[in-house]
Structure 1
């Protein structure tokens, strides 16, 4: 399953889309299943995020600096350039901001590795990336939305989703890591949980897409979501060259440079999805906008795996 995870993810997305279109009545039931499945997936994902590696990641100074610059300086500037051209719908704008401003911490490592990037350095940097985005995301949202943010986001459900679906799974994952470091039973438990990563990802993608597709029955919603597709494609194209520029600015080698391109281009859609689902009903389209980015990104990453080695050859 690890070797074939990309086609499995694409298959889960396709099955979810067909199910949501052919049997829209299953949408509400599957929406109730999203949080439990997503919480389990995030626990397993965070289990792969080595808390103990945070100190080691600090020693790769230039790579870490490039990672932070591409994600928290360059990406917000690219999003700012796009923001004025986004549809006026607040739900669409919030969805785009949520997903594009949060760097990926999970399958970016897989895709970077497939392209010959320094996936081990990305893995070491993931704790810092996760902490940084959770701290900076509210500030970025306020910068882009201003006073509108208070009008469209109810803080209570937002905080509840963040605590239940992000803070608690993260804390449990790091406690499990500590247990695994001290006891063989803990290591066995962590290894067993790790084998569930791909099935849980497939289940989450299927449930999310199947539950959100029926919401596109409203013509306006479908048209708004279709409108953001070019922005997601443009983001992937721009970030390939922006990541290359950052890698050259920090004088990184080819493998590190490839990893920088991938971390700048991939976004944290599944981790921010709970926050989108916690928005008021009038902003329900935001979750669909987040999921749409996942669809575009998975296809984009298949292209990246072939294109990035040509963009940054090992002979550089």
Structure 2
């Protein structure tokens, strides 16, 4: 069985690409099945995070993973340099459509707090650093997002929004999977059944990452197809962001003299955004904005997923 697991790990990038292509075809062929896929995205992400957390030996951790230099570099990268970079991108591409701008800021100003941990592990970063930093990323983005919109926009969109989706997503994707993983690890030393389940979870990250890719792409591809004019506006921006943002993170790590593993972690955090969490925020905007803004957010998800597939191979080679 071990050779099967090794095969999955060695060829995971091709498995993910197959999942993305399969999601595109499935979503286009069956609209009803696309709706079903949308309903299971959260479940797939939850299981993915549980399986990832289960592989982290929490009860054997002896060192302090909250490296101060790493945390400072992480916060500077995600909440100072990246926002300035995003603002410059919007100006450079001369985006004037308000719903498009809102969508861009929503998704590009909020660092990912869920599956970035998985991608960090796959890309030879430090998933422990990333895991323990997620509460800080979560708190800072909630506090700073209104400030960014105040500075970057002339309108008050937060009168139409609530932070409830953030809280709900953080609980579903981080807190609950983490609690279940901790319980499983705790009882694995006392119960043979729990230990067998823990061993089984080692098979799940790559499998459920494929399910996440398949379900996200399959459920959202129709919205992309029906708003291609919006897609064509934002894709060049996302390509620029994905091309430069990993190096912003790595540079911040270099300035603080961090080791290669930590710099890779910063690269993944700087380039991976919170699309699945901010999407509910886009859905509570005024009705004449919703379709455009959600298309902007969803397009970022698809661009990012393709980018991450490249990153897990490229970042370990480029950042040493």
- TM-score class, shorter-chain normalisation, is 0.7 to 0.9
In 1, are the aligned partners of 2:38 and 2:220 still within 8 Å (CA)?
Answer: no
Q: Are 1:6 and 2:17 an aligned pair? A: no
Map of 1:271 onto structure 2: 277
Two-structure CA RMSD over aligned residues (Å): 3.5
Map of 2:291 onto structure 1: 284
Q: Give the secondary-structure state (helix, strand or coil) at the position aligned to 2:258.
A: coil
The TM-score, its normalising length taken from structure 1, stands at 0.77
In 2, are the aligned partners of 1:43 and 1:172 still within 8 Å (CA)?
Answer: no
* Cα displacement (A) at 1:47: 6.6
Q: Give the secondary-structure state (helix, strand or coil) at the position aligned to 1:56.
A: coil
Cα distance in 2 between the residues matched to 1:42 and 1:142 = 33
Q: Are 1:210 and 2:218 an aligned pair? A: yes
The TM-score, its normalising length taken from structure 2, stands at 0.76
Cα distance in 2 between the residues matched to 1:22 and 1:123 = 37
In 2, are the aligned partners of 1:109 and 1:119 still within 8 Å (CA)?
Answer: yes
CA distance change for structure 1 residues 180 and 137 in 2, over 3 Å: closer, same or farther?
farther
The match for 2:241 among 208, 213, 235 is 235
Map of 1:83 onto structure 2: 90
In 2, are the aligned partners of 1:21 and 1:213 still within 8 Å (CA)?
Answer: yes
* Cα displacement (A) at 1:169: 4.8
* Cα displacement (A) at 1:109: 4.2
In 2, are the aligned partners of 1:34 and 1:204 still within 8 Å (CA)?
Answer: no
Structure 2 residue runs of 5 or longer lacking an equivalent are: 1-7
Q: Are 1:34 and 2:38 an aligned pair? A: yes
Q: Give the secondary-structure state (helix, strand or coil) at the position aligned to 1:57.
A: coil
Runs of 4+ in 1 over 6 A off after TM superposition: 50-53
Cα distance in 1 between the residues matched to 2:264 and 2:94 = 29
Q: Within 5 A, what are the aligned runs for 1:146-157?
A: 146-150=154-158, 153-155=160-162
* Cα displacement (A) at 1:262: 2.4
Structure 1 residue runs of 5 or longer lacking an equivalent are: none
Cα distance in 2 between the residues matched to 1:210 and 1:276 = 20
* Cα displacement (A) at 1:64: 1.7
Cα distance in 2 between the residues matched to 1:215 and 1:108 = 24
Map of 2:72 onto structure 1: 65
* Cα displacement (A) at 1:258: 2.7
* Cα displacement (A) at 1:170: 3.6
CA distance change for structure 1 residues 194 and 144 in 2, over 3 Å: closer, same or farther?
farther
Cα distance in 1 between the residues matched to 2:305 and 2:150 = 29
Cα distance in 1 between the residues matched to 2:52 and 2:276 = 15
Map of 1:173 onto structure 2: 177
Q: Which moved more, 1:173-182 or 1:189-198?
A: 189-198
The match for 2:300 among 286, 293, 297 is 293
Q: Deviations over 1:91-117 (max 9, x none)?
A: 322322222122234444454445544
Q: Within 5 A, what are the aligned runs for 1:40-51?
A: 40-42=44-46, 44-45=48-49, 48=52
Q: Give the secondary-structure state (helix, strand or coil) at the position aligned to 1:270.
A: helix
In 1, are the aligned partners of 2:35 and 2:219 still within 8 Å (CA)?
Answer: yes
In 2, are the aligned partners of 1:10 and 1:298 still within 8 Å (CA)?
Answer: no
